[in-house]
Amino acid sequence: MAERRMFTKKVTDDDNFMNLSASAQALYLHLSMSADDDGFSNQVNVSMFKAHASIQDLQALLEKRYIYQFDNGVIVIKHWRMANALRKDRYTPTAFQEELKRLSIKENGSYTLSGNQLATTWQPDGNQRLPQDSIDKNSIDKDSIGEKKEVRKRFSPPTIEEVSDYVKRKGYNVDPEAFVAFYESKGWKVGSQPMKSWQSAVVTWSKRNGNSSSTKNNFSTQRDDDLDDWAENNQNDFYRKWGD
């Protein structure tokens, strides 16, 4: 089987193709690269993984007739013969001969159906599983027994305005500007550990400040190491109880 694949601009530069999502376009290219010398491919899942494509992207290619799919899950690139022609000594016939018999070739070289015998929606066979969409850091994911657990958000340092809003909403005795300046100087670390929740650190500051009338004066007299130790000991419990 040949290792090189060709594409025609009549397809890839067409407005209909350009209106597809970037991931759907990438999926078309990867399906073409995985196809045999007659344009057939049974590597749909692998191609979707490589293209970071979704079921919706595959469905779009089917609906727009850039690919055809058979009942066994095998797909064929409709415009394959418009761009890929091989010498007989380099050509390896497809293993999907029964599927090939169900197609005919138009004058422009594209495949067309010999009757309405193909699927227009994604139909994996019994040995295939639907590819899973990638899960970002803020999504909800299910474990092996079906329970839902929240994926923790990556820590992002707050602005002075965010701290100020949080302090006002909770009624805490904390100077937002001093708080941000202090932890910026520490690289947003609590002791030797990266900060997990700045809200828990705010709670810690408020407890240490107590009912002091001047947070800035209290801040200036506190030892950094003592404050860090206190916050480090409390932020994990806070995070488990309250989250973000």
Report the chain's mean pLDDT, rounded to a whole number. 76
Torsions phi, psi for 190 (to 5 deg): -110, 105
Q: Are 177 and 160 in contact (CB under 8 A)?
A: yes
pLDDT band per the 50, 70, 90 thresholds, residue 208: confident
Q: State how far the Cα of 204 lies from the Cα of 210, in Å rounded to an integer.
A: 10
Q: State how far the Cα of 182 lies from the Cα of 44, in Å rounded to an integer.
A: 53
Instruction: Look at residue 61 and tell me whether its pLDDT is greater than 90.
Output: yes
* Sign, Cα dihedral of 114, 26, 128, 121: negative
Q: State how far the Cα of 47 lies from the Cα of 30, in Å rounded to an integer.
A: 5
Instruction: Look at residue 53 and tell me whether its pLDDT is greater than 90.
Output: yes
What pLDDT shows up at residue 91?
A: 85
**Least confident window among 58-62, 125-129, 238-242:** 125-129
Q: Are 11 and 87 in contact (CB under 8 A)?
A: no
Instruction: Look at residue 66 and tell me whether its pLDDT is greater than 70.
Output: yes
Q: Domain ranges in the chain?
A: 9-113, 160-242
Residue 175, by phi and psi: left (phi above 0), alpha (psi -120 to 50) or beta?
beta
Torsions phi, psi for 208 (to 5 deg): -70, -35
**Which H helix or E strand runs over 148?**
strand 148-150
Q: Which amino acid is at 126?
A: G
What mean pLDDT do residues 14-24 have? 91
Q: Which of the two residues, 216 and 167, has the higher pLDDT score?
A: 167
What mean pLDDT do residues 107-134 have? 57
What mean pLDDT do residues 15-20 have? 91
Q: State how far the Cα of 215 lies from the Cα of 176, in Å rounded to an integer.
A: 10
CB atoms within 10 A of CB 228: 20
Instruction: Look at residue 75 and tell me whether its pLDDT is greater than 70.
Output: yes
pLDDT digit string, tens, across residues 133-190: 443 444 444 444 444 555 566 888 999 999 999 989 989 889 999 989 988 888 888 8
Instruction: Look at residue 236 and tell me whether its pLDDT is greater than 90.
Output: no
Q: State how far the Cα of 79 lies from the Cα of 86, in Å rounded to an integer.
A: 15
Q: Which amino acid is at 230?
A: W
Torsions phi, psi for 112 (to 5 deg): -140, 165
Q: Are 177 and 167 in contact (CB under 8 A)?
A: no
Q: Which amino acid is at 63?
A: E
pLDDT digit string, tens, across residues 88-109: 778 888 999 999 999 988 888 8
Side-chain half-sphere CA neighbours of 67 within 13 A: 29
Q: State how far the Cα of 30 lies from the Cα of 36, in Å rounded to an integer.
A: 12
